[in-house]
Amino acid sequence: MKNKLLIALVFLMVITTMTQAQHKLIFQTTSELKIDGTSTVSDWTVNASDIKGDLVLLKGFKPKEAGSLYATLTLSFPVEKMESGRGPIMNNKIKSALKSDEHPNVIYNSSENKIIAINDSSFILTSIGIVEVAGVKKPMEVNLNCTYDKKRQTLVMEGEQNLTMSMFQIEKPTAFFGKLQTMDALKVSFKIHANKK
């Protein structure tokens, strides 16, 4: 009985220590993400909203230490709230192309994060992980330009990534009886604001 109690106390102490060591930065509502593309008629932009995610640092936040950052990075946003600015017909085409009924969210989960350059409070973070779009999962590596405010404990991450619709087996939307055809190439741009929980 005493041994079981001792094991339980040790386990509780370990969990408490790990929790205290973690440094969690939560994405704020001011975060922005947009997707740019083109078609046979004109360029277009789709804006995401309700972006959720966090950066959890397992050994505290020490951006001065170049190399691996012991952290997990997650990001997601709902397809339902993606806005083309071109009315409900185009918005519905986006939802259909991304199979929002079966796969309501675009999701990114990191498997590795490492700092590759540092300049005072700014640094470049390379995040490697898996992005899931329309139910299709693909590996992705993206560089994030980061600025950390130690006093306010806030982090801003900016970057862009080139993707294609065909990577995720997305059927390219068309309109006007096929006269408007979207091109395969996409550019995802984002600016994420994160604060300590």
- In this predicted structure, the answer to whether residue 68 has a pLDDT above a threshold of 80 is no
146 compared with 40, residue with greater pLDDT:
146
Name the band, by pLDDT with cuts 50, 70 and 90, for residue 121.
confident
Q: For residue 32, give Cα distances in angstroms to 27, 50, 75, 145, 193.
A: 10, 9, 12, 14, 8
pLDDT given for residue 181 in this prediction: 86
Q: Facing residues of 182 across strands?
A: 39
Residue 38 to residue 149: CA distance in whole angstroms? 37
Of 119, 117, 120, 163, residue with least CA distance to 143: 117
Whether 136 has a pLDDT exceeding 80, the answer reads yes
Helix (H, G, I), strand (E, B), or coil: what is residue 183?
A: coil
- Average pLDDT score over residue span 16-35: 77
The neighbouring-strand residues paired with 187 are 36, 162
> What is the pLDDT of the chain when averaged over all its residues?
85
Tell me, yes or no, if the pTM score tops 0.85. no
Per-residue pLDDT, 15? 30
User: What is the helix (H) or strand (E) element at residue 27, kind and residue range?
Assistant: strand 23-27
Question: pLDDT at residue 18 above 60?
Answer: no
8 A C-beta contact, residue 146 and residue 124: yes
> pLDDT value at position 63?
60
- Whether 111 shows a pLDDT value over 80: the answer reads yes
Q: Provide the pLDDT for residue 62.
A: 64
* Superfamily of the domain at 23-196: Lipid/polyisoprenoid-binding, YceI-like (2.40.128.110)
Q: State the Cα–Cα distance between residues 86 and 93, nearest whole angstrom.
A: 11
| Confidence grade of residue 142 (pLDDT, cut at 50, 70, 90) | very high
pLDDT class of 4 with cuts at 50, 70, 90: very low
Cβ neighbours of 153 (radius 10 Å): 14
**pLDDT confidence band for 74 (50 / 70 / 90):** very high
Q: Break the chain into its structural domains and give their ranges.
A: 23-196
pLDDT at 13: 32
